[in-house]
Amino acid sequence: MNRSRRQIVLLMTDSTRQDMVGCYGNPDMHTPNLDSLAERGIRYQNAYTCQPVCGPARSALFTGIYPHSNGSFTNCVPLGANVKTIGQRLTDAGLRTAYIGKWHLDGGDYFGLGTCPEGWDPDYWYDMRCYLEELTEEERLASRDSATSAKGISADFTFGHRCVNRALDFLHRHGTEDFFLTVSLDEPHDPGLCPEPYASMFADYEFPKAPNVWDTLEGKPQYQKCWAGKNRETDRDAVKIKAPRFLGCNAFADAELGRVLDCVRACAPEAMVIYTSDHGDGLESHCLHSKGPVMYNEIARIPLLIAGPGVPQGVVDGHPVSHINLPAMILEYMGLPIPRCFEGKSLLQEVYDPEIRTNDYVITEFTRYEIDHDGFGGLQMMRAIYDGRYKLAVHLLDPVDEFYDMDADPWEMKNLIGDEAYDREKVRLHKLLLEWMNATRDPFRGYQWELRPWRKDVEAPTWSYTGYTRQRENEEYEPRQLDYATGLPMEEAVRRK
């Protein structure tokens, strides 16, 4: 690797599932810029979000700590007061950091509070509240109306274009410095505004139907059947997946990110570039729409592309990876120590050598969609694990869990949770999942997660459960926790109580 600067550009879109990026197998998607980025680097085939909801997904990506640990385990709940973002950590290490775009981590509504969080350059802070406050009342209404694109708008009217303008300014001004720049578009998320030719590009297009469009959720959890609603009653042969605004805006987002990529090549050619999305979208797979408490690939598996100095080109990596690996990777790339409180391993060595496998497994969780909404299933406690072949999802409030053999059933059609032939693998993953919940201090952990109907080998529950105390460790930003029994600094964070 030959570089003289520590520079990273992180690009994000919202709700982009893998097969909405052409390099993942559907060239109809018209994403030439992201496809080109994949050719210059690595495409991760099995990358997963930590939680398939906008805010919680970002909370893990920008703190290195899972949503259940950092406090933002649902939309409209802010990060914990003692949780530091990677922006804060990099700024304190002397690097310039800028966050431009959708944040969704301040506890405000969808648009945010318009206030730059600690650790990011306030000169470039620009969340969706900032955007709306630039608009007249009439323009605000238009900006939230999906029919606006059909009336004809310019790119300059969109949030994404204005975000990118600020990113270009940052790169022109600071492209010779050490920096970390995030450009987080809301597009192609509803209302999916975009100018021509994108607004009409997919007017007559039918998105390809995967086999799991015919999955009517027999043998699956009840909450998924509630989520699907009347979709389960429709003639699945007759289903046509048409999403012209969503897919058109997806192509527009690629064009906007292309402006950033062009500027990176001109102003910061040594920068590592990362592209990802917060989560996917059901688009009728499993009769579902949008996102929610599942680890189905269409919703929880996300695009992840990485290119830059020392990164092999045109490579496809099939190992399971996660957003939780990126904060540690970013700090390692910048030459900084990885904090003890981080809950994911750095992906950096696997980036340089895709033969290396960083994770034995990855985890996706779900607690609640949003505090403000009664809908979207309300409270749905899910913890799910995937090891590269098998996938187990445990649903605390539903009697039916899920288990899939992804080699035999890549479309996740047949729930094998009741198949005794897979008991060994189910129990193995379940034990790993419970260990992870304990190790990460999951506030919702407890014996209830262990007592699943298909587990015949567990002992009777006890009030003390594991019998351990697990205190927080964050040596950089706060004093060491005090032991309850002595009032002295704890010697062991994990110990018998």
Question: How many CA atoms are closer than 13 Å to the CA of 121, on its beta-carbon side?
Answer: 18
Label residue 94 left, alpha or beta by phi (over 0 means left) and psi (-120 to 50 means alpha): left
For tokens 């460790």, name the residue: 473
Which one from 30, 104, 319, 395 is the annotated catalytic residue?
104
Rounded Cα–Cα distance for residues 59 and 142 (Å)? 29
CB crowding 55-75: b at 16 or more within 10 Å, else e:
bbbbbbbbbbbbbbbbbbbbb
Sign of the torsion formed by the C-alpha atoms of 105, 109, 111 and 114: negative
Quick one: which of 102, 13, 21, 6 has its CA closest to 348?
Answer: 6
Rounded Cα–Cα distance for residues 41 and 309 (Å)? 9
The answer to whether the CB of 284 falls within 8 A of the CB of 231 is: yes
The three-state secondary structure class of 151 is helix
* 286 in active site: no
* 267 in active site: no
Task: Say if residue 420 is exposed, middle or buried (CB neighbours under 10 Å; 0-12, 13-18, 19+).
Answer: exposed
Q: Which two tokens stand for residue 434?
A: 């419970």
- Amino acid type, 221: P
Quick one: which of 412, 413, 188 has its CA closest to 290?
Answer: 188
Which one from 23, 50, 54, 249 is the annotated catalytic residue?
54
> Which residues are paired to 10 by β-bridges?
182, 274
In degrees, to the nearest 5, what angle opens at C-alpha 58 toward C-alphas 321 and 305? 40
Label residue 408 left, alpha or beta by phi (over 0 means left) and psi (-120 to 50 means alpha): alpha
Alpha helices for 123-221 (secondary structure H): 128-132, 137-143, 148-151, 159-174, 198-201
Rounded Cα–Cα distance for residues 238 and 288 (Å)? 16
Rounded Cα–Cα distance for residues 70 and 79 (Å)? 6
Torsions phi, psi of 306, nearest 5? -135, 130
**Which residues are known catalytic residues?**
54, 104
